[in-house]
Amino acid sequence: MSGTFLVIDDSRLHHQMYQLIFRRSELAGSTLLHAYNGQEGYDLFRAHPELRLVCLDLNMPVMNGLEFLERRRAEGLHLHIPVVLVTTESTAEDEQRGLEAGAWGYLCKPFQPEQLIALVERASRLSQHVSQP
Amino acid sequence: MSQAEHPFAALLAEYVAECLPLAEDVAERVVALERGWRDGTDTGDLARPLKGTLHTIKGNSAMMGLVGLQTLAHRLEDLWGALLGDQPGRDAGVGLLVRGAGLLADLVRATATAPPADDVAAAFIEEVDAYLAAEAGAREPAREERRSPDRRATDRRQTRAVGEIGADGAVTTIRVESQRLDALLETFGEVMIAQAGLRDAIRQRGRRSGGDPAQLERAMLGLDRTLKRLEQDLMETRLLPISTVFTRFTRLVRDLAHGEGKEVRLEVAGGETRLDKTVIDRLGEPLVHLLTNAVIHGIETPDERTARGKPAEATITLRAVQRSDRVILTVTDDGRGLDPDAILRKARALGHAPAHESPSRAEIFALAFLPGLSTRDTVSHLSGRGVGLDVVASSIRALSGNVAVGSEPGRGTTFSLRLPLTVAVLRALLVEVGTERYAVPLADVAETVRVAPGMLHQVVRQGMMTWRGEVIPVLDGGRLLGGTASGARACCVVLRSAGERHRGLLVDALLGHQEVVVKALDPALGRPPAVAAATILGDGRVACILDSGRVADGWIEPVATLAS
């Protein structure tokens, strides 16, 4: 289930948490790319069409999660890469806006490592499905 | 789930490193907001980031499984939302917010040592809930007023807690700018080049006997210089902005002033000045002392101030500036000032009379730092100066710094602390021999052993002990260090030495290990055997730092005198 993943979050703490999760046996051998704001994340996203999944924080400086998604949709960039929006206590309204802007999934803080792994599993089944019709 | 088995338990230090500055920022902002709302000034810029910051702290705490902190941050978000409209009874809510933000910062700081319990803020949260419920329903300002005397008591308790956390809430993680690391790596590269040069020079010498001695000398000098630079660069990575310690004081001063019924504003300048991590860790306590003294004893009540033609609100200024390799910290208040006559009287009574009849004011103020002089019942009611200036002076001296005070009666007082930018520190094991304490560099300690009867033997006037299958010589700490030998020491510190045999040093007690600031011995003392340097401990006592190398390399003759 390994591959390349992108984490976009302005919290160093969260990057370390993702590292801990991606070091686990199910995901061992994965490459993790790190970006600390939406703009940095977008540049990495553009440069890596092979990404298996993106974890995108909602509240960030420079470019927030929704702006990231809206720009990606407008440019039609790498629409095959699933982007998971990560939020603290979002309202149904937020979720709706996120999904409309093209988020593939939602992860609500606090989440357990297993929840993220389950999302990665789902995403990789999806990509197998897409690449081997 | 307990913290130990939490998936992210390993990230606690990173959590504190990220959330503490956020929580301190919130605490500072709400104090400024309280003032701004009271004075009717524009607080938009202060208020804007609050919600987002609280939200981030809540999210991070939740991810870490720190339920108590998560709940507290959440309730503060709610409270903040409720306070945004300018409704009657808001003052009580603002007071609650200031206390809560302080509590949040304290709890985040304490998490570095031990994660708080889930219900740690339960009592406070109950108060917030009660306030929010009252706000939502019929407003009951009378109830809030009835409660206020209790609140003042709580405020004071919290203030005390701040000081305690300030004392041991040491910073354990340092973030280093990547440019500094680059500079370090670059210097390290130069060390490698210098080492290569030295190796060449040595090889040349080996090949043609005689060689060029100057070449070797030059290479050696080059290496020395680069290593010094490397040391300097490394020391610089230990520098932290002094704002890490300043930020907690805004609230301290506010809480103290409230408790005393005074109006005090704390102004802070130079927070970006950088100082060694060790100095910063140990600066909290003396500064808490000075600020507490200023608020409680230095500053007059608003009525008194108005009567003297001063503004009712007093100002305390905390300022840091760097001057070459020193940082000067000043604590200035515009209170009643020191009374030189009272200090002189008290000094004479204690037998610390100055050498000549008419000492200058500066000479008199210097006496205030003597032990016993600045106690509450003697000087304070006369001159407005409280407890423990000698404690402040000794903790600053322990950091190789010094303190001075200047004062204009009726106008105010200024304390100046001169501190070194960096200090040499060492992790050491503190041991007790007789009544003396010694510091043994931790890197030289192989093991500590409790001495059991029959463990020690005497072989040709030399004490011996079997340790891990090796027979090692044992020295009595008392004899070695110039005291008296004793046959009954309880512990043995096994010292390691490069390639050599181990040696045991008998001591009376092990007192634990800590970072000590190394102070060179005055060359006039010569070099006492087995002592490398000295340090000043937290309680102001001097401890010698042992030169383990000289102990282990067999400098010593003194034979352990052992009871059979």
pLDDT at B335: 92
Query: What is Dmax (Cα atoms) for chain B?
Result: 100
Give chain B positions within 8 Å (CB) of A7: none
On whether any CB of chain A is under 8 Å from the CB of B315, the answer is no
How many Å lie between the alpha carbon of A20 and the closest alpha carbon of chain B?
8
How many Å lie between the alpha carbon of A67 and the closest alpha carbon of chain B?
17
- In the predicted structure, residue A55 carries a pLDDT above the cut 70: yes
Please, which residues 64-123 of chain B have a Cβ atom closer than 8 Å to chain A? 64-65, 70
What span, in angstroms and rounded, lies between the C-alpha atoms of B132 and B511?
50
Place of tokens 């956390």: B165
The stretch A46-54 carries a mean pLDDT of 92
What span, in angstroms and rounded, lies between the C-alpha atoms of A22 and B499?
44
Instruction: Inspect the interface and report whether the beta carbons of B8 and A59 lie closer than 8 Å.
Output: no
Instruction: Inspect the interface and report whether the beta carbons of B62 and A13 lie closer than 8 Å.
Output: no
- The string of pLDDT tens digits covering residues A15-47 is 999 988 888 878 888 889 999 999 999 999 999
Instruction: Inspect the interface and report whether the beta carbons of A16 and B18 lie closer than 8 Å.
Output: no
> What DSSP designation does B519 have?
B
pLDDT at B500: 59
Q: Residue type at B45? A: D
E-state strands within B351-442: 402-408, 412-420, 425-433, 436-441
**pLDDT values of chain B reduced to their tens digit, one per residue, 564 residues:** 455 567 788 888 889 988 998 999 899 888 888 888 888 777 778 788 888 889 889 888 988 889 889 999 999 988 888 887 666 667 788 888 888 998 999 899 888 888 888 887 888 888 888 888 877 764 444 444 433 333 333 333 332 222 233 333 444 566 677 777 777 877 887 888 888 878 877 877 777 666 677 778 888 888 888 887 787 777 777 778 888 888 878 888 888 898 888 999 999 888 888 888 878 888 888 898 899 888 888 899 999 999 999 999 999 999 988 876 788 899 999 998 888 888 888 888 888 776 677 788 888 888 888 877 654 443 443 333 445 788 888 888 888 788 888 888 889 999 999 888 777 777 789 999 888 889 988 878 888 988 887 788 877 667 888 888 888 888 888 777 766 666 678 888 888 765 556 888 889 899 888 778 777 777 777 766 678 788 887 677 888 888 776 665 544 444 444 443
On whether any CB of chain A is under 8 Å from the CB of B410, the answer is no
How many Å lie between the alpha carbon of B297 and the closest alpha carbon of chain A?
43
Instruction: Give the torsion sign (CA, B497, B502, B508, B510).
Output: positive
- In the predicted structure, residue A122 carries a pLDDT above the cut 80: yes
The answer for residues whose C-beta is within 8 angstroms of residue B116's C-beta and 6 or more apart is B66, B68, B69, B107, B110
Pairing of strands B542-546, B470-476: unpaired
Give chain B positions within 8 Å (CB) of A109: 59, 62-63
What is the crossing angle of helices A65-75 and A38-47, to 10°? 40
Residue positions counted in chain B: 564
What are the two backbone dihedrals, phi and then psi, of residue B399, each rounded to the nearest 5 degrees?
-95, 20
pTM beyond cutoff 0.80: no
- In the predicted structure, residue A1 carries a pLDDT above the cut 80: no
Give chain A positions within 8 Å (CB) of B108: none
Burial class (CB in 10 A: 0-12, 13-18, 19+), B465: buried
What span, in angstroms and rounded, lies between the C-alpha atoms of B121 and B382?
41
Instruction: Inspect the interface and report whether the beta carbons of B62 and A17 lie closer than 8 Å.
Output: no
Neighbouring C-alpha atoms within 13 Å toward the C-beta of B390:
10
On whether any CB of chain A is under 8 Å from the CB of B460, the answer is no
